[in-house]
Structure 1
Amino acid sequence: MYDELKYWYLRHHKLFWTLSMSQLKQLCMITGFKKAKKGDIIYFSSSDVPRVFLLKKGNIKIVSVDEDGNETIKDIIQKGDLFGELELDNDRNSNEYAKALTDEIIICSFLMSDFENLLLKYPSLALSYTKFVGLKMKRIKNNYANLISKDAKTRLYQFLKDWAEKEGKRIDNRVVIENYLTQNDMAQIICTSRQTATQLLNEMEANGLLHYNRKEIIIDDITKL
């Protein structure tokens, strides 16, 4: 059953579109399959068995930890995203972990050594992977640029607009986002304090820009952000 599930998960991911049916079935033989629930730790970067992960369902946060133990959310992983040792260089000095944000997480994974061999075996896959990771790294770089050049209010507005575009349900200019992030999560994403994030959200709600609760965020007119 799991082999069948893995096949269809991989078949419908754009990274593997260049592979034939027989190649995908071979790929399933080296693919791990895992389910998780909210709050579960998916991986630590310090693991002795580095892997590349593919998120099939749910949402995950990548948390970076500095030398003083301070945590910052480095990225939010959404359906279809790759995460883990993406640059295939296994940086042992990095200190981060992945944690499930939503219920019913479904993940496929590959040992990094197996994945490297796979890229060598299928040049078309290697090209797709390079483009996929390049776009992801560009997005992360742009996020860091925004953190440096913009104030907390602008960063929060931009984050909400990006989130709404990716996952929001839109009717005309009204957008409803399923909220799986705490205010502390949002504060970490935009690199500010929880108090500041709470204050900014309260101000937006008071000004009629959004309605916020633990289950959903409703933005009545996304063009006003």
Structure 2
Amino acid sequence: MYDELKYWYLRDHKLFRALSFSQIRQLCIITGFKKAVKGEIIQFASSEAPRIFLLKKGALKIVSLDEDGNETIKDIIQKGDLFGELSLESDQDVNEYAKVLSDEVSICSFLMSDFENLLLRNPSLALSYTKFVSLKIRRVKNSYANLVNKDAKTRLYQFLNDWAERDGVKRGDGVVLENYLTQTDIAQIICTSRQTATLLLNEMEKQGIIIYGRKEIAISDVSRLATHK
């Protein structure tokens, strides 16, 4: 059963579209598969057998710990994203892990050594992987540029706009997001205090841009987020 699940998960992912039926079947042999529930921690850094992970369902946050044990959100991982040792180099000094945000997640994973061998045997897959990682790096660079050049309000609008584009579900004239983030999470992502994030979200509600709830965020008109400068 798991082999069939892995096959369909991999076949539907754009990274593996260049592979043939038999190649994907072979890939299933080296692929791990697991499910995890909200709040569960998934270790991927500083392990003896580094892995690359593919999130098929749900949402995660990548968290790093400083020397004092304080958490910082580095990234939000959504359906279709890769995470783990994407550079194909294990960094034993990084103290990071993934934490499940949604009610449930489904994850495929590869040993880094197996995935490297797969890339060597399949140049088309290696090219697709390079493009995939390059897009991810570009997204991270854009996020850092926003932190440096834009104020907290603009960063919040940009974050909600990006979230809506990637994960939003149309409902009537607007878009609805499953809200798996706390206001503290949102504050960390846009690098501001929780109090500031709360004030900004309340302001957006008063302006009729969003309806903020614990379970979902309804956005009446996404274009109002995109045009905010």
TM bracket, shorter-chain basis: over 0.9
Contact 1:209 1:221 in 2 (8 A): yes
SS at match of 1:15: helix
Contact 1:173 1:223 in 2 (8 A): no
Residue 105 (structure 1) aligned with residue 105 (structure 2): yes
| Cα deviation 1:84-109 (Å, max 9, x = unaligned) | 00001112222211011012210000
TM-score scaled to structure 1, two decimals? 0.95
Q: Name 1:222's counterpart in structure 2.
A: 222
Is the deviation greater in 144-153 or in 198-207?
A: 198-207
Letter paired with 2:81: D
Describe how 1:7-26 pairs up with structure 2 within 5 A.
7-26=7-26
Letter paired with 1:12: D
SS at match of 1:74: strand
| Cα deviation 1:144-175 (Å, max 9, x = unaligned) | 11011111111001101111111112357522
Describe how 1:23-38 pairs up with structure 2 within 5 A.
23-38=23-38
Give the Cα separation in 2 of the matches to 1:172 and 1:143.
30
Describe how 1:58-207 pairs up with structure 2 within 5 A.
58-171=58-171, 173-207=173-207
Contact 2:210 2:219 in 1 (8 A): yes
Superposed structure 1 runs of 4+ greater than 3 Å apart: none
Contact 2:46 2:90 in 1 (8 A): no
SS at match of 1:29: helix
| Structure 2 unaligned spans of 5+ | none
Give the Cα separation in 2 of the matches to 1:13 and 1:165.
18
| Cα deviation 1:53-94 (Å, max 9, x = unaligned) | 011111111112233333221111111111000001112222
SS at match of 1:201: helix
| Cα deviation 1:174-201 (Å, max 9, x = unaligned) | 2211111110110111011111111111
Q: Name 1:213's counterpart in structure 2.
A: 213
Contact 1:46 1:92 in 2 (8 A): yes
Identity %: 73
Give the Cα separation in 1 of the matches to 2:40 and 2:184.
18
Letter paired with 1:42: I
SS at match of 1:158: helix
The count of aligned residue pairs is: 225
TM-score scaled to structure 2, two decimals? 0.94
Letter paired with 1:139: R
Contact 1:173 1:222 in 2 (8 A): no
Per the TM alignment, residue 42 of structure 1 is displaced from its structure 2 partner at its CA by: 1.5
Letter paired with 2:40: D
Is the deviation greater in 16-25 or in 129-138?
A: 16-25
| Structure 1 unaligned spans of 5+ | none
